[in-house]
Structure 1
Amino acid sequence: MSDLSAAHLLIVDDDERIRELLKRYLMKQGFMVTAARDAAQARRLLTGLAFDLIVLDVMMPGEDGVALTHWLRGEIGTPVILLTARGEARDRIAGFEAGADDYLSKPFEPRELVLRINAILRRAPKAAPASLAPQVLMLGRMRYEVDSGDLRDGTEPVRLTQTEAALMRVLAGRQGEVVSREALVEYLGRDRGHMAAELSQERAIDVQITRLRRKIEPDPRRPRFLQTVRGEGYLLTPG
């Protein structure tokens, strides 16, 4: 896996079908992917997480992609690729004037999107948040440092196993979003190749989630932060 394919991408699109297709395809290319359904959810994610690149749909209800891009440029330097069904020159110009790095008209080949993402990542330095909040998740008394993976109960460090640490990294990267057992198996197998066989069964994920809850939940039997979404997967909700 290249350093580029290890990048963390944010996909923002109100069309659930397109959002899920893009997320699955880009994950298969080795990227870490977080998805948002609209600009409001994207803003919430951006206050707690750093991304290497944002793929942003223009036509969304409420705040559209061009307006969100303009706001982003006042906050962070993360590269932005705009997606839209519009192909007129005035729309492309509006996107570039707002600060977009590239523009791709729908429909498009997913492979072309990957090529454009990689081209931008090669020439763009890793962006750091400017005025956004630090990369910290609060889980009640627990404090989780996203970048370092450090977990503390107040001031006391909490030791995580390699598997638990990998789970936290994945779930924190997609906070507020349901992550399926299948996706967790794929993420952990890719992140920790030597653990792929151990975690090849989705049932093993349930066991690891139970162990992680014992370390981050006040009452593991009634989880508040690491929730089960029946039939779908797991959801990490800081608070």
Structure 2
Amino acid sequence: MSDTPAHLLIVDDDERIRELLKRYLVKQGFMVTAARDAAQARRLLSGLAFDLIVLDVMMPGEDGVALTQWLRGAMATPVILLTARGEAKDRITGFEAGADDYIAKPFEPRELVLRINAILRRAPRPEAGADAPQMLMLGRLRYEIETGELRDGQEPVRLTQTESALMRILAARHGQVVSREALVDQLGRDRGLGGEIAQERAVDVQITRLRRKIELDPRRPRYLQTVRGEGYMLTAG
């Protein structure tokens, strides 16, 4: 069995609930990525593999039931539906769509953890790397994980040595926050990078330069995100 924590996707249009669930589940030992709606969830799922999805039913646009139906046609990842509707007919609708479990709001976070663990025990996780994506799609750009190449269509995007090292580190942990301290440590061990990146501020500068190459609007990054007080996270989509 893998020692890597299970990676969960939380999909809920309520920012407060998203953040509360994310913080609680991280404290319980899970890796957690959050999406605000079905569209963002689809983008994340196109580049990341998750062990389980916790999905709100009542969202604007595509609702949770419709997204669950799409998921069942695309992958076998377990789904837990969250909803304020607790009537039997609503639970039946969720299960018919392909959900593995159904929890009515309000609920105790501990109950959610117990149900997550029960489902994960019934659905053994694949061996590490078995379903891992071989590339990450960053909008129009494609990052080849094995070779470390970044391409815009067929054209390579030139990266400096430090930018290449940053991409390798962040891509290896895509969907997870990497702290500035961890980046300083890993970059500092990479021969040839020199002492210029041995400080957190220098890492911030390198992140800014890398954003200019992968973001349509570097001032409002979509793929290389700052997680306030924690570090940086690379997300596909």
TM-score of the superposed pair, with normalisation by structure 1: 0.68
Cα distance change, pair 77–14 in 1 and its aligned pair in 2 (3 A): same
The Cα shift of 1:115 comes to: 1.3
Q: Percent identity?
A: 57
Match of 1:208 among 190, 194, 203: 203
Q: How much has 1:215 moved relative to structure 2?
A: 6.7
Distance in structure 2 (CA, Å) of the matches to 1:125 and 1:118: 11
- SS of the residue corresponding to residue 20 of structure 1 reads helix
Question: Could you tell which deviates more after superposition, 104-113 or 2-11?
Answer: 2-11
Matches within 5 A, 1:70-109: 70-109=69-108
How has the CA–CA distance of structure 1 residues 185 and 26 changed in structure 2, closer, same or farther, with 3 Å as cutoff? same
- Identify which of structures 1 and 2 has the higher relative contact order when contacts are C-alpha pairs closer than 8 Å and 6+ apart: 2
Q: CA distance change for structure 1 residues 12 and 18 in 2, over 3 Å: closer, same or farther?
A: same
Equivalent residues of 1:82, 1:104 under 8 A apart? yes
Q: Distance in 2 between matches of 1:187 and 1:120?
A: 35
Report how many residues are paired: 210
- Tell me which amino acid in the other structure corresponds to 2:149: R
Judge conservation of contact 1:151–1:157 (CA < 8 Å) in 2.
Answer: no
Tell me the distance in 2 between the aligned counterparts of 1:53 and 1:230. 22
Residue type at the aligned position of 1:208: V
Residue of structure 2 equivalent to 1:21? 20
Q: Does residue 151 in structure 1 map to residue 148 in structure 2?
A: yes
Q: Secondary structure at the match of 1:104?
A: strand
The alpha-carbon deviation at position 34 of structure 1 amounts to 1.1
Distance 1:33 1:168 in 2: 16
Partner of 1:115: 114
Q: Which amino acid aligns with 2:202?
A: V
From the superposition, tell whether residues 167 and 238 of structure 1 become closer, same or farther in structure 2 (CA, over 3 Å): closer
Question: Unpaired segments of 5 or more residues in structure 2?
Answer: 128-132, 151-155, 190-197
In 2, the alpha carbon distance for the partners of 1:139 and 1:60 equals 24
1:228–1:88 Cα change, 3 Å: closer
* 1:79-119 deviation line (CA, Å, top 9, x unaligned): 00000111100000000010000111111111111111111
The equivalent of 1:43 in structure 2 is 42
Q: Which residue of 2 aligns with 1:33?
A: 32
CA RMSD of aligned residues (A): 4.2
Contact 1:36 1:42 survives alignment (8 Å): yes
Q: Distance in 2 between matches of 1:89 and 1:83?
A: 14
Note the C-alpha offset of 1:143.
1.9
Instruction: Tell me, in whole angstroms, the C-alpha distance in 1 between the residues paired with 2:226 and 2:210.
Output: 20
State the SS of the aligned residue for 1:74. Answer: helix
Greater Rg over alpha carbons, structure: 2
Query: CA separation of 1:4/1:124 partners in 2, compared to 1, >3 Å: closer, same or farther?
Result: farther
CA contact (8 A) 2:175 2:233 kept: no
Unaligned runs of 5+ residues in structure 1 are 175-182, 196-202
Per-residue deviation at 1:138?
4.6
* Pair 1:185-2:184 in alignment: no
The aligned amino acid for 2:148 is L
Taking structure 2 as the reference length, what is the TM-score of the superposition? 0.68
The Cα of 1:31 is off from its aligned counterpart by 1.4
Deviation (angstroms), 1:185: 3.3
**C-alpha distance in 2 between matches for 1:116 and 1:187:** 34
Cα distance between partner residues in 1 of 2:5 and 2:227: 30
